[in-house]
Amino acid sequence: MKISLLAVLFLVATVSANAQRAEKKSRISDSTQLVYSTPDGQIKDGAYYIQNTKNNNVLVQGNYKNDVRVGNWYFFSGENKLVLRYNYDQKKVAYIDNSMFNTVGVEIPNVEEEVAKNASAPVPLCAIDYYTSLLSSEVYNFNKGNSLKLEITAHVAIDGKATYYIAYVDNSKKTAPKEMKLKGDKFAIDWIPAMYNNQPIYSEFTVYATLLEEGSGQRRFRWHD
């Protein structure tokens, strides 16, 4: 009888805990959605992942504790390949695929050549292809003209905070960069700043793309590789 009572109490406690925590889904784009655990519909607490709704591949996977990222986070490319693993508790990169930087430009301005040559690159905690797709959703708000080449640059401060700028290149003429505002309500991009001698330094991180105008009036992006 005692065992049965304990089993009932355990079952009641489990049901109660599940009732207090719900899975919430939120659309990020036409092809991605966010899924996370929440006790009240607002605070993130528990499992968190971003999924490609076209093939069910996971792009980002991690955990929150009271709206704070904790533990290991995993970042996957569009080909379902792990490109980055980061531990938020240790504030340490556990794994990184350096080939993800093959299609970007990194500049460390206003420093001596020795510093620029030996400093580490800034790292967005996100696969580059998903990073660029997040940026592309904001590009639509900037230009409604013909197909153009784009340069989108993150200015990464020593505290890891980034400010984003976009410039258009048309007929070899480059426009003055304009600041972009990214919506971070569903997925905020965290950064590891560039480092030299274990000290963070300012850097600029650029992705290059072409905005293509299709016959249907729709627009798509080709990210340079």
In angstroms, the CA 195 to CA 28 distance is 32
> Cβ–Cβ contacts within 10 Å for residue 118, how many?
11
**Dist CA 53 CA 32 (whole Å):** 5
What distances in angstroms separate CA 207 from CA 101, 140, 203, one per listed residue?
A: 10, 16, 14
- For 107-164, the pLDDT digits (tens) are 999 999 999 999 999 999 999 999 988 887 777 655 555 667 889 999 999 999 999 9
Predicted confidence band at 221 (pLDDT cuts at 50, 70, 90)?
Answer: very low
Q: Averaged over 181-210, what is the pLDDT?
A: 91
Query: Residue 223 CA to chain centroid, in angstroms?
Result: 16
pLDDT tens per residue, range 11-69: 444 444 444 679 999 998 888 999 999 999 889 999 999 999 999 999 999 999 999 99
CA distances from 97 to 49, 76, 102, 128, 160 (A): 20, 10, 10, 11, 20
